[in-house]
Amino acid sequence: MCRLHMDIYDVAILGGGAAGLMAAIAAGERGRSTIVLEKNRRPGVKILMSGGTRCNITNARGLHDLSVVSGPIDPAYDHSLARGARSVMDAFAPDGKFLGAALREFDVAATIRFFESQGVRTKIEANGKIFPVSDRAADVLAALVRKAERSRVEIRTNHAALDIESLSNRFLIRCSEGDVEAERVIVAVGGRSYPGCGTTGDGYAWARKFGHTIVEPRPALVPLSLQDPRWTSLKGVTLNDVKASVQIGGKIVDERREAVLFAHFGVTGPAILDISRAIARSDGSERAALVLDLLPELSIDALDSQIRERARSGKRSVASLIPDSIPRRVADELIDYAGIPHNRTGADLSRDERKRLVAAIKSLELVIAGTTGFAKAEVTRGGVTLSEIDPRTCESKLCERFYVVGEALDLDGRIGGYNFQAAFSTGRLAGRFE
């Protein structure tokens, strides 16, 4: 749809990512004249790189009956949908209730049905993660852009919004390539995670201009760096089943049982990314530590008994007493950590040394130096404070016809497709304005 650049649109959507494109589709479907202003040369750059370029669209873990993703649904009796919504809200704890109305408008099942209807077949993987069957994030983006174009949405790329001015009954958006006027504005520019995608926190200044409070943005779902450099020698080693806990000021504040990967800077992997949200919420004034249970399926007593039994079998090395599921490189570091000489045999291992070895395996404490920052963060903790946004519409309570959606909000969830679901749901809700 061709327009002169100073025509007045019903809505201008700032940002062509997951939230922005879904908002545009919703508005376009209702016959609203809609324009998306995207600073990059193409929309959806972050979609393309997400999930290792596979794009984890959403998470169906809470759906008891996956048959709800097809066919008509009567919310009055479909309890599976309610469980699915609760699962998403739980993933955003303690702020998940904010998403209640958005999920009623566009829930997990609706998201799956949307992509299936656009020719993107989906599949469910471990922990309820939903991916395109093709394993191509490009297919997800293409479906969103295609649907937006069919809904008569105008998408302008290389068109960065620089500032917003409030006129008498509309907004003037100052842009790098020609200004735009619109009766409504939906801010969908994301936070500060992966700034190489163009997400550099532009929306915060615009929100402040209209009176909004910004919770300090911090990297979340982000790898952690460690204070002790010895663990960097394990780079490339993956432990597939670890219970990882974050301890702040001596108190465990979050934990997750999933894979952990050692890297040159510290640790990453699903368990680490999830619990990094607790680091993002801390003010840094108290000591933060990562506690790893490397064999969560075994109790302390069971592990101790297993090591004692192995120690009885001749002159076995200390490393050979450690269960085989722990890689040898990790076992060697655990022995050093426990302060046990490597030439000690099982027969010579003292009771105190054995207890220290068990403790190293079951509660390996690593002091956290920090995170790898926004450059490696999947989402942003912080943003426009939720109390100033109407959760029923995503409209500002301080400025009429000004909406904030997706990662620009102070709303961050666990890994597994939950953050994309929040983007789709809040975008859809805002785009269906009256």
Contacts of 156 (CB under 8 A, 6+ apart): 35, 36, 37, 38, 177
Tokens of 324: 């085989």
Confidence tier at 314 by pLDDT (50, 70, 90)? low
The enclosing H or E element of 183 equals strand 180-187
> Distance between the two ends of the chain, CA-based, in angstroms?
22
pLDDT digit string, tens, across residues 344-364: 888 899 999 999 999 999 999
The mean of the pLDDT values for the chain is 92
- Structure token pair of residue 165: 């001015």
Residue 253 pLDDT > 70, yes or no?
Answer: yes
Report the 10 Å Cβ neighbour count for 139: 18
pLDDT of residue 76: 43
Give the pLDDT score at 374. 96
DSSP codes, 45-101: HHHHHGGGGT---EE-TT-S-GGGGSS---TTT-HHHHHHHHHHHHHTTTSGGGGHH
Percent of the chain topping pLDDT 70: 94
pLDDT of residue 42: 96
């993107």: which residue's tokens? 120
pLDDT at residue 249, as a whole number: 93
DSSP of 166-179, one letter per residue?
E-SSSEEEEETTS-
Name the token pair of 17. 């990512």
**In the prediction, which pLDDT does 97 show?**
96
pLDDT 10s digits, 5-55: 467 999 999 999 999 999 999 999 999 999 999 999 999 999 999 999 999
* pLDDT in the model for residue 247: 96
- Pairing, β 8-14 against β 34-37: parallel
CB 418 within 8 Å of CB 14 = no
Q: What is the DSSP letter of 389?
A: B
Q: Show me where the domains of the chain are located.
A: 8-218+378-431, 223-372
- Considering the segment(s) 8-218+378-431 as one domain, its CATH architecture is 3-Layer(bba) Sandwich (3.50)
Which pLDDT does position 3 carry in this prediction? 44
pLDDT at 226: 96
Mean pLDDT of 133-148: 98
Neighbours of 235 (CB within 10 A): 14
Under 8 Å between Cβ of 269 and 258: yes
Once rounded to an integer, what is the mean pLDDT over residues 319-340?
95
Q: What is the per-residue pLDDT for 260?
A: 98
pLDDT tens digits for 26-38? 999 999 999 999 9
Indicate whether 77 pLDDT > 80: no
CA atoms within 13 A on the CB side of 71: 6
Q: Is the peptide bond before 75 cis (omega within 30 degrees of 0)?
A: no
pLDDT band for position 116 (cuts 50, 70, 90): very high
CA 243, CA 232: separation in Å to the nearest integer? 20
Which has more pLDDT, 135 or 78?
135
By the 10 Å C-beta count (0-12 exposed, 13-18 middle, 19+ buried), 352 is classed as exposed
Q: What is the pLDDT of residues 259-312, one digit of tens each?
A: 999 999 999 999 999 999 999 989 888 999 999 999 999 999 999 999 999 988
- pLDDT score at 74: 45
- What pLDDT sits at residue 85? 86
Q: What is the pLDDT of residue 72?
A: 44
pLDDT of 83: 66
Tens of pLDDT, residues 153-166: 999 999 999 999 99
pLDDT for the residue numbered 75? 45
pLDDT for 411 beyond 60: yes
Place of tokens 């990662």: 407
Strands (E), 211-345: 214-220, 224-226, 238-248, 251-262, 266-268, 288-293
